[in-house]
Structure 1
């Protein structure tokens, strides 16, 4: 697929449907800190699954996100459980502990290697933000990444898409991508609601365990 332009979802879907006969199992890989997971993540995964005819999307919360070393990150177990809660209603979504259970910093190359070993029958599609796609060339073992998975970069409508001269990368616009985990954390910290930005069960989980709360501005179940 040419990456100099962005094909429509209908065009991509039609081509992939035509290729479906005897194709390998298609596994989407949605890696992220998920601190917290929100509807933007879920919509992006659902849209990519539809367009690329994915059989399953596995969400992979990071264990030790090396790119977030400049800020405090919620414990991995909390982020994992919030992801389980958020994805439970969609039978096509699953959650993996592969990064959480691996010691040391989380690198995408390790995630893809482990999933490829666990699911040798699957063709991997790694889903990430389009803004991150331009940084991937500097990631650990970058060239091997392209061999392990097809990369799908998603962004909000109207946002300028990067131009990457690679056939193993696709870019697409996805609604609801304007929601950010940073904004959700700040809203909780300052006592503002996050209802309808994150799944209801995650809202309740955040309240129960007082995640992201400023100690001087605790937020209860009714305020989140």
Structure 2
């Protein structure tokens, strides 16, 4: 499951669990990106903090793990490179699924070396009830599964906005993640640089 996880919240966790159960997956690997080429300029917490928050959020679920493959690679994160790395790691016969939001799925044809993706993985597009996936070219549509997840009105953007305003974020994300954010003063003007302490 790819994303910035900036920060990780219950929406991500519910999506991962619903997909895992529905597709009977052996494992869901959360992959925090180092930088994303598609989201433009956002208040991105240092990658090491996003990795640690993700680790804290999933620690009680034996089906979940976190990978620093994109963080170690540094630079921009591309799905094709990550899936290729997992194929090499787990073996060519391992069936891989890339879980992401349905809005991101519509952009697949624009992704780096997108034509290679169907040979590396299938896509699971998580959507809110009633969402309709925009038409994808057949080569991608055949490898894409749309799944509805419970509609949680939680987003990382909203959490960052609430923190900036000094509003509560309780019950939007795991308590350990909330404490971590306050401990390191993430998403405020005093936060550390991406390159400090690496």
TM over 0.5: yes
* Cross-structure match for 1:44: 15
Q: Out of 40, 48, 53, which is 2:24 matched to?
A: 53
Alpha-carbon contact 1:85-1:201 (below 8 Å) kept:
yes
Structure 2 counterparts to residues 1-224 of structure 1, below 5 A: 30-120=1-91, 121-164=93-136, 165=138, 166-214=141-189
4+ residue runs of structure 1 moved beyond 6 angstroms? none
Larger Rg over CA atoms: 1
* Cross-structure match for 1:26: none
Q: Secondary structure at the match of 1:183?
A: helix
Q: Which runs of 5 or more structure 2 residues have no equivalent in the other structure?
A: 191-198
Q: Distance in 2 between the 1:156 and 1:178 partners?
A: 10
**How many residues get paired?**
186
Deviations 1:58-87 (A, max 9, x none): 000001212233223110000000000001
Q: Distance in 2 between the 1:35 and 1:76 partners?
A: 9
TM-score by length of 1: 0.79
Q: Secondary structure at the match of 1:58?
A: strand
Q: Decide which structure has greater strand share.
A: 1
* Cross-structure match for 2:196: none
Q: Distance in 2 between the 1:41 and 1:206 partners?
A: 17
Deviations 1:88-120 (A, max 9, x none): 010000000100000321111111011111111
Q: Which runs of 5 or more structure 1 residues have no equivalent in the other structure?
A: 1-29, 216-224
Displacement after TM superposition at 1:214 (Å)? 4.7
Alpha-carbon contact 1:157-1:173 (below 8 Å) kept:
yes
Alpha-carbon contact 2:16-2:28 (below 8 Å) kept:
yes
Deviations 1:8-56 (A, max 9, x none): xxxxxxxxxxxxxxxxxxxxxx010000000000000100001111000
TM-score by length of 2: 0.89
